Amino acid sequence: MQLHLPPSTEQLATLDARILVVSFAALPQLRHWVPYFERKYVTPHYTELNLPVPNDVFARTRFLADPALAAYHAYGLGRNSLLRVYGPLILWQYLRWFIQRKPVHRPHQDTLQRGGNFVVNRAGILTLAHTGRDQAERPAMADIIAALRR
């Protein structure tokens, strides 16, 4: 989500970069989720920053459905162990969200599927590959922006 908040949005515009968000949800489900994601997660962050949500907040983003996991597997993303997914950092994060009254919903999908972040430059070369030890570990925005410049 940091990719959809300032100052990342300005940096992405300067680089003329795009965001491809890949989900293993089916296309209809993903279509249904995108406006929910904006309403429940992106808009509140803009509100906290006292900024209006741009009409084109997803203008540089495409949301892609990969229910067959073809792209996930091409990028080495299989399934995690239960212990790794629900380790102490994740349980702490859920507790913080609960205390902050942030929405926490029981997922209806495979919660063990691994995710990841990658950056591909204009020449089609990987300049960042990050899967993280667990789902709480994401690359820093500065690292993603730096990789987009390479």
Question: Counting contacts by CB under 8 A, is residue 5 touching other proteins?
Answer: no
The answer to whether residue 46 forms part of the interface with other proteins (CB under 8 A) is no
Determine, following the binding rule CB under 8 A, whether residue 27 of this chain makes contact with other proteins.
Answer: yes
Q: How far apart are CA 131 and CA 73, in angstroms?
A: 13
Residue window 105-124: x/- pattern of binding to other proteins, with contact defined by CB under 8 A: x-x-xxx-xxxxxxxxxx-x
Any contact of residue 25 with other proteins (CB under 8 A)?
yes
Position 14 contacts other proteins (CB under 8 A): no
Binding mask 57-96 for other proteins (x = CB under 8 A): -----xxxxx---xxxxxxxxxx-----------------
DSSP state letter for 8: H
Cβ atoms < 10 Å from Cβ of 71: 14
Cis, bond preceding 44 (omega within 30 deg of 0): no
Count the residues in the chain: 150
In contact, 44 and 1? CB cutoff 8 Å: no
Pick left, alpha or beta for residue 16 (phi over 0 → left; psi -120 to 50 → alpha; otherwise beta).
Answer: left
Q: Which residues bind other proteins (CB under 8 A)?
A: 3, 12, 15-25, 27, 29-31, 33-34, 37, 40-41, 62-66, 70-79, 105, 107, 109-111, 113-122, 124-129, 131, 135, 144, 148
